[in-house]
Chains A and B, each alone.
Chain A
Amino acid sequence: MDPRDIVLDKYSSKVYKNRKEHVITINEGEPNVIQADTRTVPGIMTNRGCCYAGCKGVVIGPLKDVATITHGPIGCGFYSWGTRRNKAKGDENTKAFGEYCLSTDMQETDIVFGGEKKLKQAIKEAVEIFHPECIAIASTCPVGLIGDDIHAIAAEAEELYGIKVLAFSCEGYKGVSQSGGHHIANNGLMKNVIGTGDAEPIKYSVNLLGEYNIGGDGWETERILKRIGYHVVSVMTGDGSYDAIKNSHTADLNLVQCHRSINYIAEMMKTKYGVDWMKINFIGPEATKKSLRDMARYFNDPELSRRTEAVIAEEEAAIAEGMASCKAVLAGKTAAIYVGGSRSHHYINLLKSLGVEVVLAGYEFGHRDDYEGREVLDTIKKDADSKNIESITVTKDPDHYKERLSEQELMALRAAGVPMEEYSGMWEDIMDGAIITDDYNHFETEEFLKYLKPDIFFSGIKDKFVIQRSGVASRQLHSYDYAGPYAGFKGALNFANDVAMAITVPVWDMVQAPWKKEPLLEGSLGGMESC
């Protein structure tokens, strides 16, 4: 039996029936359909979080000039305070709220009598203390149950204080994972922020979408883009700001790094403002080169193309020696990689360029299109658990819509392999025979570790120490273990060094105590008393 069957066989028939669709082996020539974005099996020890985490923790929280108030008991706000490393810098003109955790800290009386009064007062106090340009309200579980109308309160506060107030109904029980929260956050930004600015368009303008600047990834990406000559209008949302996102509709091209969390906005901006989008990937030198060349093709300007090649040559040369020495350490190793909804795919190629094959992979909350590619979108049926996540439709904005490239030009780009409005998913890059588990859990992590014995396991904080204790090197690919950046050329070298370090630290050779390896010596030496 192959490892997949051995592991699944240990489940009861009911759990087996559910999990067998989420755990598959990649086989050549087969369509490889996976079940994803469905409810978690209770008690299975999933690694998933909730809708609030996806909305406030991931998409809205990083907006540096937005004072985000968590409406709920203290926990949710507390746990998402400074723990996701979406770096941001304030300056004289930009207030940075990243170091703050704002909450209505609901008490029993607020549950009984409603929390609306307290929320209103909290907004008032936030305005008086911080004078923010924009406030966001993020709901937690009890808010929806007790019926607080945060949208009415937001509208009222907007009027009262003359600032932007955004409300997000991202109660933790909505949807089945963080994913619902991304969608809710996207809808809110699209409805209330994007397109409300009046900046003049600038040449070679792009937005960086689904880039949260973990450990400075976004800054490293921007550094490269600026060297080539691009203008980055906004980043959604790492080091991003309300102020910049207002004008994001003036860019010509949206660059989508994390497809899962931001594809909604990419699609809607195309419909409403005519901004084209392409899937890029700035993780790993090969992917970065392809993305930069795809962008050059899109803008089709000889000077931009020349700069692109010059920058690529310089950046690549700067890391070549370091990458080669890491590859010498890592070549032939195998890896497992489980991250949220996009990194599991992005890092596969970076690992390949270091000679490491991924034998085990998956997402916590990816949808089928993140595994199988966007061409399966039409075949995905929404199930009962996610149908209440609002899907909004937008139409052409008569004042701001502008066609960038004609449909024929876009077709030609696609034909040339430029992923315009395309994403082919993890399947494109994962090796044959690899095992994929969607919504991975503790049991499957432990079991597959036993059978596949990868040399290194990339995932998050909850299982890092489980894996390490098992004797397998483990690096976090959410927090980068407090290091980074990992994006772009320099980031690739940072990553390579960190992985080589994780595998070669001297401790690995000391795990077994010497007395467990050798029989005890008996007798005395050199006339000394035996001890």
Chain B
Amino acid sequence: MLNLTPKEVSKRSALRINPLRTCQPVGAMYAALGVHGCLPHSHGSQGCCSYHRTFLTRHFKDPAIASSSSFTEGASVFGGGANLKTAVRNIFDIYDPEIIAVHTTCLSETIGDDLTGYIQDAKITEGKYVVHTNTPSYVGSHITGYANMISGFIKYLSESTGDKNGKLAVFPGFVNPGDMREMKRIMTLMGIPFTMLPDSSGVMDSPMTGTYEMFPRGGTTVAEIIDLGNCQSALALGEMTSEAPAETLEKKCKVPYQTLPLPIGVESTDAFIMALNHFCKEEVPYALEEERGQLLDIMLDSSQYSHEKTAAIFGDPDTVLGITQFVLEMGMIPKYVVTGTPGSTFDKRVTELFEKYQVEGCVVKSASDLFELHQWIKNDPVDVMIGGTYGKAVARAEDIPLVRAGFPIIDRYVHSYLPIVGYKGAMRLIELILTAIMDRQDRDCADEDFEIVM
């Protein structure tokens, strides 16, 4: 496996090998699927749209609907205005969504299509909406595209009427429906009125009923997005994913926001609960205290198995940052912490964590790739890898257990239904990590060292 990867790390300035990120539009598509009655639309050639739908479907094992402008060579030269106009008419005619959320690809961005103009010219059925965002694939990553699409919804729809609605606006970050459900459960337990944008729960984890529904029950409604402008305040979960949309809402509707890391692990979940607590000013319900205490109990009980175990953590910036914080809380050493998404905030925040927990010899790198991570591991291995499916080849090549967390996970089932955020999510994450480490001990130890009780 991966036999051609040399141990010696050479400097690369042009060749990307085995990337740890993908391009903007798929993030925009995922964000748009978290809006109720929304059909994501890819303004480019149709290959992108097919690839992105496929990517999401493989991760969620659920349908991911989206349409395309289906550029031909002619449109690529003369502009895609006619394609978009035709597409909008056909989409409302045939599929009847409440809203079409347009994103772009490197094709329409390179030719400089003016989406704002096209949408103004398009015939939009009364009571329906078309919004857009620009998502050039040659800038940032799918995380950037996700943030851009959420900002796009706000720019087009959110309004401040001056009448506050008493709600908290929540940007959940690039997470699974299972995580969004967990965030909502916590907020409901605490009695917080909120609007979450986007919300893919009930869309990308919808049930088998025997009837296919193109627009399932879930998703943030257009009315809720409009009313976001009247929220008391906003919570941006995941600095590198959610701060841009929160900023957009503040700029447009003067809704103040607070940025927090994704609530993964103890301290980050504590910070989330504290922020909610400041918002509602009620006592934190015992149910959450109990969960927190259970989590700490588990962490203490099992600490001999996690203490000073080394990990390589890879994936999307906010998720990786969250997992890094949690493994440090577990007494582990996050030896390699990498994301494919560019941006110095990541390096800064992870370095702060290294310093806070006083771990030595750990490496952080943004805009990195799996090839580089593999080379580091070849030179100095780790006890466990934590990240998405593509890490499995490295894990197999170097005989390291892989804990699947993040995007994309396209070779296992169930994961997207269950959280890694909140105290409950942390329990799940610690179970996954401990099981990986302890299974390995069971497999590798001598027969006479094989333990029944652990």
Contact = CB atoms under 8 A, between A and B. Distances in A.
Contacts of B393: 99
Interface in B42-59: 44-48, 50-55, 57-58
Interface string A86-116: 0000100001110111111111101100000
Given A385-B74, A469-B212, A462 B54 contact: yes
Contacts of B68: 40, 42-43, 45-46
B58 A75 contact: no
Interface stretch (A50-58, A240-248, A312-320): A50-58
B269 to A, nearest CB: 32
A27 B90 CA distance: 30
A402 B55 CA distance: 47
B204 to A, nearest CB: 10
A462 B53 contact: yes
B62 A465 contact: yes
Nearest to B69: A42
A443 interface: yes
Interface residues on A, range: 35 or more
Contacts of B3: 90, 96
Nearest to B23: A75
Interface string B182-220: 000000000000000000000000101111111000000
B16 A103 contact: yes
Contacts of B254: none
B430 to A, nearest CB: 30
B51 A75 contact: yes
A473 to B, nearest CB: 12
Interface stretch (B135-143, B291-299, B321-329, B440-448): B135-143
A72 B106 contact: yes
Contact of A107 (B17, B75, B95, B138): B138
B12 to A, nearest CB: 5
B231 interface: no
Interface stretch (A121-129, A188-196, A202-210, A412-420): A121-129
Interface in B78-128: 83-84, 86-91, 93-95, 105-107, 110-111
A352 interface: no
B160 interface: no
A103 B19 CA distance: 9
Contacts of B74: 384-385
Contacts of A96: 3-4
A82 B58 CA distance: 13
A141 B212 CA distance: 34
A471 B17 contact: no
Given A46-B46, A74-B21, A130 B107 contact: no
A501 interface: no
Contacts of A80: 51
Contacts of A446: 212, 214
A42 B76 contact: no
Contact of B75 (A47, A118, A144, A173): A173
A196 B50 CA distance: 36
A306 to B, nearest CB: 42
B138 A106 contact: yes
A406 interface: no
B441 to A, nearest CB: 28
Contacts of B136: 73, 108
Given A43-B69, A44-B90, A388-B73, A443 B14 contact: no
Contacts of B111: 145
Given A50-B45, A76-B51, A142-B107, A125 B23 contact: no
Contacts of B107: 141-142, 145, 172-173
A142 B10 contact: no
B63 interface: yes
Contacts of A111: 106, 110, 138
B41 interface: yes
A140 B54 CA distance: 18
Contact of A41 (B50, B65, B86, B88): B86
Contacts of B72: 39, 173, 176, 385
A222 interface: no
Given A75-B25, A119-B14, A471-B211, A43 B89 contact: yes
B95 A443 contact: yes
A396 to B, nearest CB: 33
A171 B61 CA distance: 29
B259 interface: no
A83 interface: yes
Contacts of A120: 14
B308 to A, nearest CB: 32
Q: Which of A104, A443, A465 has the most CB of B within 10 A?
A: A465
20 contacts: A15-B90, A43-B68, A43-B86, A45-B68, A78-B21, A79-B22, A97-B4, A106-B138, A107-B139, A120-B14, A121-B14, A125-B13, A126-B15, A141-B76, A145-B107, A145-B110, A442-B95, A461-B58, A462-B64, A507-B208
Which 6 A-B pairs have CB atoms at the shortest separation, nearest pair first?
A50-B47, A43-B87, A75-B23, A121-B14, A105-B16, A42-B87
Given A141-B106, A469-B209, 10 more contacts: A42-B87, A44-B90, A73-B106, A73-B137, A73-B138, A76-B51, A108-B138, A121-B15, A122-B14, A465-B62
